[in-house]
Amino acid sequence: MNDNTAAVSEIKRLLGESLPLAYVRSFGCQLNVSDGEKIKGLLRKMGYGFTEDESEADLIILNTCAVRENAEDRVFGIVGSMKKLKELKPSLIIGITGCMTAQSHVAEKIRQSYPQVDFVLGTSAISGLPKLLLGCLNGERFAVDISEYDDFSEEAEQVRESSFKASVPIMFGCNNFCTYCIVPYVRGRERSRRPEDIISEVAGLVRSGYKEIMLLGQNVNSYGSDLGGDMSFPQLLRRLNEIEGDFLIRFMSSHPKDASSELIDAIFECDKVAKHLHLPVQSGSDEILHRMNRRYTAEKYLGIADEIYRHDPDFSLTTDIIVGFPDESEEDFQATLDIMERVKFDNIYSFIYSKRTGTKAAEMADGVTDEEKSRRMRRLLELQRGISTEHYKRFIGKRMRVLVDDVSKKREGFVTGKSSEFIIVELEGSSSLIGSFVDVEITDAMNWAVIGKII
């Protein structure tokens, strides 16, 4: 399938006993983080160790995100500052991977303005890394490989960030072409992994002690549509739910246009599936939704929320919202605030619209000023703070099952974790609880978390 095995062995031989260190940093969504874990898996095979400190690294890889302009600016800032590191250590190799590289104008800008960068590797070309790196180790100047290989998942060994939470991509790419979004251009068309590969990967992870499995895709609801109709996403959930063991299944993201009753039934009938759905609404205005090419209306979205709350009024919905899409009027924005009040999201991830070269929305006229967009963002956050404060109170006196994931940064003697509903829970306890499930009773609620005590 690819000839990276020879390159891996050659690098291993070149590096010998030297144990060079690699610094790998991923930006953007969890799919990109998962790619970063695969890159680390490949590097480990070649003989690299890892460091969190770029100044001691022999190899730096920035695995980039292109979804908004500020994500790209951040990377350019970091690459700029790495010029100094390269001067101090001329043998340092710097590579850029991930979504930014798939835009030819960005790859060109890197080549022109950042001579400290040694190689650029495309999003779907991870399996080409060994060959590229071998070239650099042999003194080649500026190597580029943005060809489309396989998605490098089935044979990939990963260096996972956590020993109890694992991400499992189930599909790659996106077919939706929301008019503001760069993802379909940098990640290509939808490709679903074979169900048997996903099932055996999840079963293996559960056997090795993983407690939370996060299934990833840009639009998981359309999983399987390219597999000839043998397996839909709800069917996949049911199959994964049958795997023996004590673990929680999460997934993201879901697209409202494909959120079917079949999906909702599967969520409620599968005991291992989290009682939380991240369902990006983006806007509450039908006019804006239409111009975004989202293919649903506010009414349809509210219908899904109602159906879910009929099953379980405590169920947790979270969402993504874009503020200041081109020519968003005050009424359009008000419609977004209205839908927030009606649905009562537990959490929102909100972004000011960012123009992406090559997308349809980049061609749309936009009469809304940056100041107005920032003002709307503040109004939206203010409203959500109030909603979360009120809404989190519904959990007081109830029981939650929490996967503890860290010590609390806010409270001495407390640990923190997430409930099945994806709510942050702070509870008294020691770091020995990290990585295990505990049952807690909720005693208090804030606007960003609830407090619980172990039963």
Site residues for ligand SF4 per CB under 6 A:
174, 176-178, 181, 183-184, 218-219, 255
Residue 292 interacts, among ligand F3S, ligand SAH, ligand SF4, none and using kind-specific CB cut-offs from 5 to 8 Å, with none
Among residues 137 and 361, whose Cβ is nearest to ligand SF4?
A: 361
Tell me how many residues contact ligand F3S (CB under 6 A): 12
**Closest separation between CB of residue 177 and ligand F3S, Å?**
14
Q: Which two tokens stand for residue 223?
A: 């999983």
| 166 bridge partner residues | 213
Half-sphere exposure of 217 (CA within 13 A, CB side): 24
* Residue 177 near which of ligand SAH, ligand SF4, ligand F3S, none (CB within 5-8 Å, type-dependent): ligand SF4
Per-residue buried b or exposed e for 281-309, using 16+ beta carbons within 10 Å of the residue's own CB? bbbbbbebbebbebebebeebbebbeebe
Q: Does 31 help bind ligand F3S (rule: CB under 6 A)?
A: yes
Please, which residue, 188 or 303, has the CB nearer to ligand F3S? 188
Nearer to ligand SAH, 25 or 373 (CB): 373
Which of ligand SAH, ligand SF4, ligand F3S, none is residue 322 near (CB under 5 to 8 Å by kind)? Answer: ligand SAH
| Residue 28 interacting with ligand F3S (CB under 6 A) | yes
Region 55-114 residues binding ligand F3S, contact defined as CB under 6 A: 65-67, 99
C-alpha angle 36-421-213 in degrees, rounded to nearest 5: 35
If binding is defined by CB under 6 A, does position 24 make contact with ligand F3S?
Answer: no
Which of ligand SAH, ligand F3S, ligand SF4, none is residue 351 near (CB under 5 to 8 Å by kind)? ligand SAH
The nearer residue to ligand SAH, 127 or 318, going by C-beta atoms, is: 318
Q: Name the minimum Å distance from CB 55 to ligand F3S.
A: 26
* Residues making contact with ligand F3S (CB under 6 A): 28-29, 31-32, 65-67, 99, 182-183, 186-187
